[in-house]
Amino acid sequence: MARKKGGGGKLNRSEIIQARLDPKLHMAAEIMARCERRTLSSLIETLIEEAVEKYKVPAVPTHNAQINMLLDKSPEREEITIKSAVDMIWSPEEADRFAMFALVLPDLLTANENELWFHLRTITYYWAHFPINLVSMSGKVLDEQQTWPLINQQGIVKERLREHWPFLKDILEGYRTFEDLRIMSYSLPDGPIIEKPEDYPLEIKRINYLVD
C-alpha cells in the first residue's frame, strides 16, 4: 500500500532536530555558548560547520563515477572533506540528492538504499546511452551498433528520476517492494541516446560470439 502523501516536501531555511546529550557534555556546551554570547543551537551549528571543513570521507570523484555493474572495475576513492562532498551532492530536489549521494558516497548507503540503487542502475529509463561497437570474436567491427548506459552524474536523467521519486521513496520506506519496481520497469522506454563523452575512461565494445 502506498503511503499517504502529505503537503510537505519543501525545503525550509533551517530544520529543527532533537539531539540527546550527556548531561556533562550539555553543561559544557551551554558554558561555551554563554562565553560566546550565543544560543546553544547557534553554537552547535557553528561547530558542525567547522567540523565538516576538516572531517574526511572516502568518496568517488564525480568525473570518475563509473558505477556500472557491467564494468569489472570498482570506482577509485579519494579522501575529501564532508563540505566538498556536500557541495557535489546538494540539490533542492531529494531525488537528485539521493542519486548524487549514491554516486559520490556509495560506501555510506544503507542496505536498503544500496539495493534501490542497484535496481536503478539496471533500469535503462533513468540513464542516457551512447553507441558502442559490436565486434566479432576475431575483433572485426560489425555494422551493427548497440548502446551503453552512462552511469555517472552526466548520464542520469534527473527529470525521470524526479518523476518517479514518490514511488521510489515508498520502496525505501517499506510501502512498496522492489518487485513493484521491477514490474513497473517493463513498461519504461530506454533512456536518450547521446554521443560518447570524450572523457569516458574506457573503450567500450561488445563481442558477438555468434560471428567469427
Share of the chain above pLDDT 90, in %: 53
Q: Cα(57)–Cα(105) distance, rounded to whole angstroms?
A: 8
- What does residue 130 show for φ and ψ, rounded to 5 degrees? -125, 150
Q: Per the domain annotation, does 105 fall within a domain?
A: yes
The per-residue pLDDT for 197 is 78
Residue-averaged pLDDT of the chain:
83
Q: Per the domain annotation, does 4 fall within a domain?
A: no
Question: Given a cut of 80, is residue 61 above it in pLDDT?
Answer: no
The per-residue pLDDT for 76 is 77
Q: Per the domain annotation, does 136 fall within a domain?
A: yes
Question: Given a cut of 90, is residue 205 above it in pLDDT?
Answer: no
How remote is the C-alpha of 95 from its chain's centroid?
9
Read off the DSSP letter of residue 64.
G
For 101, the domain range is 55-208
Q: Cα(34)–Cα(31) distance, rounded to whole angstroms?
A: 5
Number of domains in the chain: 1
Q: Per the domain annotation, does 109 fall within a domain?
A: yes
- What does residue 106 show for φ and ψ, rounded to 5 degrees? -60, -25
pLDDT per residue over 46-59, tens digit each? 999 999 999 999 99
Q: Per the domain annotation, does 145 fall within a domain?
A: yes
Q: Per the domain annotation, does 2 fall within a domain?
A: no
Find the largest Cα–Cα distance for the chain. 79
Q: Per the domain annotation, does 182 fall within a domain?
A: yes
Q: Per the domain annotation, does 168 fall within a domain?
A: yes
pLDDT per residue over 101-157, tens digit each? 999 999 999 999 999 999 999 999 999 998 877 666 666 666 666 788 888 888 999
Task: Name the helix (H) or strand (E) containing 136.
Answer: strand 129-136
